[in-house]
Amino acid sequence: MPVSPGNSRVMMISPRNYNIWMDRLLPRWMFHTVQNLVIDSDLYLLHVEEKKIMEAGPSNWQKLCFVPTKSDANVVAFRKWLKIYAGGQIDWGNKFTGSLPPTPPREQLMDRYWSHVVNCSSCNAAYKGLNALAVSLQVFSFALVAIVGATKQAMISMAARNTLVIAAVLCFVGSKWLSHFIYKTFRYHGYNHAS
């Protein structure tokens, strides 16, 4: 749904009568993660396409957009409806000067945190909780190393010492992996459409 020139809001519903148990088991933020992957993969391309349509004029959109499949039928129907009832474009009144806002860098355009996470209670809670877990893993890792370093060799067996060191390494590696996961899931996931 267009909310202002260059900005839209996605409202989506996925009615289904299968795997309903998954909705009860998995938190909502996990579904949003998958949906964001789909939406974000097209976001930059749609942004560029919007600028091209604006330059060519709304009545020439079919010359720029190739829509041959059944899945494109809704796009074609919307464009026909828009042409009939709104002259091919949305009337923004005096809020629109005729030019779109400048294209921000990809990282800013595809920033999930400010476009979704801060507004979604489920994703925001998951973001805060996973960040707390990542910090806890790092603290626990350093605490284990400090325990190993502070204890005398006679006080703790070599097997226990090695176990603590391995646990410290696993906690540290886990925190680094989790930090990377948080960044790609809740902040920015870059796409290379050429590959």
φ, ψ for residue 49, nearest 5 deg: -65, -40
pLDDT tens-digit series, residues 49-105: 888 877 887 777 777 777 778 888 888 888 888 888 888 777 777 777 777 778 888
- Tell me the pLDDT tens digit for each residue of 170-184: 999 999 999 999 999
Residue with tokens 């294209």: 103
Number of residues that make up the chain? 195
Provide the residue type at 63 as one letter.
K
Location of structure tokens 């930090």? 179
The crossing angle, in degrees rounded to 10, of helices 121-150 and 158-182 is: 150
String of DSSP letters for 84-130? HHHTTS---GGG--SSPPPPPPHHHHT-HHHHTGGG-HHHHHHHHHH
Closest CA to 43 of 193, 195, 186, 184: 193
Residue 4 bridge partners (DSSP):
7
CA distance 79 to 73: 10
Minimal CA–CA distance to 62: which of 51, 74, 71, 53?
Answer: 53
| Choice between 151 and 14, residue whose per-residue pLDDT is larger | 151
Handedness of CA 49, 54, 55, 61 (dihedral sign): positive
Residue of 35, 188, 33 whose CA lies nearest to 126: 33
pTM for this prediction: 0.74
